[in-house]
Amino acid sequence: MRIQTVGAGPHPDFSKVGCVVTIAGVSIDCAERQTDSAEIIDLRDVDGSGRVVEGGSGYQVASIHIPPRVYGDAACDGEDGAEHRPVDLDPGTVLVTLWTYNQ
């Protein structure tokens, strides 16, 4: 995963394991959320309460940019030709943007 910070900081706590990123206590499985179109998931602080949620209104804490699903050809068992199948998400293609956040 690529991490980009905006502002001088401090920035929200985050961790990443495989395709799962956790920011300010909110976990997003990027592989589960990937679709045929690019996805942008915004995390916001609800009215300065310190409670971070996906979407809604409030102070922008982070954004997760998940690229569109990629397809590849795979051999079919017992059949001629190939099948068009989705390729597993490469975590290195996900961009996480963290904004200055005073919790």
**What confidence score (pLDDT) does residue 38 get?**
98
Domain residue spans in the chain? 2-70+87-99
* Mean pLDDT per 10-residue interval, the chain, length 103 residues: 94 96 97 97 90 90 97 69 83 97 83
**What confidence score (pLDDT) does residue 79 get?**
61
Residue 87, C-beta contacts closer than 8 angstroms, at least 6 positions apart: 69, 70, 71, 72
Of 89, 64, 67, give the one whose Cα is nearest residue 4.
64
**What confidence score (pLDDT) does residue 76 get?**
62
**What confidence score (pLDDT) does residue 17 get?**
96
**What confidence score (pLDDT) does residue 78 get?**
58
